[in-house]
C-alpha cells in the first residue's frame, strides 16, 4: 500500500436520524481491508462522535479517511459557527447542545473528549463564523 487509500463522505446535517452513516460505511470498508479490529473500533467511534457533532452544531460537513500502512487519518471539515472556547469544549461534561439533542441521547459533553480518547493525535482548527476542521490520527500499532 504505497499510496494512501482515501474515503470521502458528505455528512448530511439536516437529519439527525441518519447521522453516523458515514462511520458505519467506513467501518465496513476497513473491515474488508483487514485492518486490526482495535484500530477500526477506535477510528469508527472517533469519527462517529465527530459526525454527530457536525450534525448537531454545524449543519453537516465532509469526512475524509486516509489509510496508510502506518496510520489512519480522519479529517472532519465543516462550515459551521466555529468553537468559541476549545479548551472548555474539551472538558468532559461541557456541552452547548439543546434539550432536544439531550433527549436523543447526545450532548453529554463527551463528544470531543471521546474523539481525543480514541485517537492517538488530534488537532482542532476553528474560526468563529467560518468553520472547524478536526484532524485525528490513529496509529496501526
**Contact residues for another protein (CB under 8 A)?**
16-20, 23-24, 27, 37, 41, 44-45, 48-49, 52, 104-111, 113-114, 117
Total length of the chain: 141
Tell me the closest approach of the beta carbon of residue 61 to another protein, in angstroms: 18
**Closest residue by Cα to residue 79 from 129, 22, 116:** 129
Q: Are 58 and 80 in contact (CB under 8 A)?
A: yes
Tell me the closest approach of the beta carbon of residue 117 to another protein, in angstroms: 7
Nearer to another protein, 41 or 79 (CB): 41
Nearer to another protein, 6 or 24 (CB): 24
**In what helix (H) or strand (E) does residue 14 lie, and over which residues does it extend?**
none
Amino acid at each position: 500500500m504505497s499510496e494512501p487509500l482515501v474515503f470521502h463522505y458528505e455528512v448530511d446535517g439536516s437529519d439527525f436520524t441518519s447521522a453516523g452513516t458515514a462511520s458505519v460505511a467506513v467501518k465496513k470498508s476497513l473491515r474488508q481491508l483487514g485492518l486490526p479490529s482495535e484500530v477500526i473500533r477506535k477510528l469508527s467511534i472517533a469519527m462517529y462522535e465527530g459526525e454527530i457533532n457536525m450534525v448537531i452544531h454545524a449543519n453537516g460537513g465532509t469526512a475524509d479517511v486516509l489509510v496508510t500502512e502506518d496510520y489512519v487519518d480522519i479529517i472532519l471539515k465543516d462550515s459551521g459557527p466555529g468553537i468559541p472556547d476549545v479548551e472548555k469544549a474539551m472538558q468532559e461534561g461541557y456541552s452547548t447542545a439543546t434539550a432536544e439533542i439531550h433527549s436523543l441521547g447526545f450532548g453529554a459533553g463527551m463528544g470531543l473528549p471521546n474523539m481525543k480518547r480514541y485517537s492517538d493525535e488530534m488537532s482542532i482548527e476553528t474560526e468563529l463564523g467560518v468553520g472547524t476542521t478536526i484532524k485525528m490520527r490513529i496509529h496501526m500499532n
